[in-house]
Amino acid sequence: MLPKISYIRPNSLREALKILSSMGTYVHAGGTDLLGCMQEGIYPGGTMVSISHLQELKGISRRPDGGLKIGSLTTLAEIASHAGIREHYSALALGAASAASPQLRNQGTIGGNLCQRPRCWYFRGDFPCSRKGGSMCYAVGGENENHAIFGGSGCYFIHPSDTASPLIALDARIRIAGAKGDRTMALSTFFLSPKEDITRETVLHPGEIVVEIFLPPAPQGMRSTYRKVRARGAWDFALAGVAASLQIVAGKVERARIVLSGVAPVPWRVAEAEAALAGRLLNGESAKQAATAAIKNAEPLARNEYKVELVRGVVEETILELQAVPS
Ligand SMILES: Cc1cc2nc3c(=O)[nH]c(=O)nc-3n(C[C@H](O)[C@H](O)[C@H](O)COP(=O)(O)OP(=O)(O)OC[C@H]3O[C@@H](n4cnc5c(N)ncnc54)[C@H](O)[C@@H]3O)c2cc1C
């Protein structure tokens, strides 16, 4: 059952920030995750501040430097079908297209996708887990087949977003607005691990709003992709996924970004796999070595050891897929 809530539709970002600076307020964008969280008791009642109609937060536009600006209210469907994103930032188009179902992609926004709450069944269920202020992570000794194999420390949920890893692989930045002003940062620093803060998934403070995401111009020779493995072909969250972006110059990997999804509480960048590719020819041997490096620090729980081999396989296949993509 939904708790008792009030609902406000401010006329501008400025007005929204002013209202959000009071206690007990929540940002409502597409509502596809927020309403579920409210029903599941993650949030008590309060005031829902809907930004869903604010034109200033919508759309995709070209930046003067040749990169792209994506408003936080841009829907996943718009991102998945945008010609410029499909051509130059394919990992992002594929990530957005693989999230949820067509109906949810039409309603769900990129800002909401990055800020959605964990899907862990203990967090969403009737358990006073550490993320809800309790003293333990029930997944450690419980049903942990879908949980993290990297970066768990005290809380083992997996980051649910299929756009976060591609965006980090593409070196995206994010702009946040609050009553006290704006800040812009690399998206890789936006997410908080359980070690940094066990009750928050992002650096957002109450009342702050994600305004937009910036993609830098795609360098010459850059190719990117996203691959997601899920338990069933219809909508489902990732069991494991990988976003890869490689810059290839004269057949050699000049720059590599390999970011895993579905395996850690944050999008998991694997520097070891990137190092295994840097300066090398992109071929079966370098892809295999990168995949082996990607699983080096995995720490599976009792029921999710299968994910280690899954990650190895999906990283190798994804890198090899990029071998065949023309720059
Ligand atoms: C059945 C189902 C299946 C799904 N499967 C997948 C999947 O496979 N992959 C995947 O990636 N996602 C999946 N999702 C999640 C879905 O993509 C998100 O629910 C959606 O993108 C959230 O967008 P929204 O605009 O509806 O956010 P909302 O529900 O409005 O908000 C979600 C959260 O983000 C906060 N928020 C929203 N916008 C902002 C903003 N601009 N600034 C600050 N905070 C903000 C809200 O306060 C709330 O906490 C699934 C969801 C459902 C219900």
Q: What is the pLDDT of residue 45?
A: 85
Percent of the chain with pLDDT over 70: 99
Indicate which atom in ligand 1 lies nearest the CA of residue 236.
Answer: 8
Rounded Cα gap, residues 29 and 49, in angstroms: 9
Whole-angstrom CA distances from 260 to 33, 144, 180, 200 are 22, 18, 34, 20
Q: Residues near ligand 1 with C-beta < 6 Å?
A: 26-34, 36, 72, 76, 99-100, 104, 107-109, 111-113, 115-117, 160-162, 204, 209-210, 235-237
Q: What is the pLDDT of residue 24?
A: 87
Q: Is the pLDDT of residue 327 over 60?
A: no
CA of 189 to the centre of ligand 1 (A): 19
| Ligand 1 mutation target, pool 2, 33, 117, most atoms within 8 A of CB | 33
Assign 324 a pLDDT band (cuts: 50, 70, 90).
confident
Assign 317 a pLDDT band (cuts: 50, 70, 90).
very high
| Mean pLDDT computed over 185-213 | 97
| Mean pLDDT computed over 25-37 | 96
Residue nearest to atom 33 of ligand 1 (CA): 116
Q: What is the pLDDT of residue 274?
A: 98
Assign 192 a pLDDT band (cuts: 50, 70, 90).
very high
CA 301 remoteness from chain centre: 22
Q: Is the pLDDT of residue 27 over 60?
A: yes
Rounded Cα gap, residues 6 and 19, in angstroms: 12
Q: Is the pLDDT of residue 106 over 70?
A: yes
Element (H, E) at 16: helix 13-20
Q: Is the pLDDT of residue 150 over 80?
A: yes
Q: What is the pLDDT of residue 164?
A: 98
List Cβ neighbours of 87 (8 Å cut-off, separation of 6 or more). none
What's the pLDDT tens digit per position in 236-261? 999 999 999 999 998 899 999 999 99
| Ligand 1 mutation target, pool 115, 162, 212, 228, most atoms within 8 A of CB | 115
Q: Is the pLDDT of residue 326 over 70?
A: no
Residue 226 phi/psi, 5° resolution? -140, 130
CA of 117 to the centre of ligand 1 (A): 8
CA of 237 to the centre of ligand 1 (A): 12
What is the residue type of 108? G
| Ligand 1 mutation target, pool 17, 25, 27, most atoms within 8 A of CB | 27
Q: What is the pLDDT of residue 278?
A: 97
Percent of the chain with pLDDT over 90: 92
Whole-angstrom CA distances from 109 to 5, 19, 57 are 22, 21, 10
What is the residue type of 114? L
Is residue 79 within 8 A of residue 85, CB to CB? The reply is yes
| Ligand 1 mutation target, pool 104, 158, 211, 212, most atoms within 8 A of CB | 104
Rounded Cα gap, residues 282 and 259, in angstroms: 18
Least confident range from 30-39, 93-102, 227-236, 250-259: namely 227-236
| Mean pLDDT computed over 56-72 | 98
CA of 254 to the centre of ligand 1 (A): 35
Q: Is the pLDDT of residue 304 over 70?
A: yes
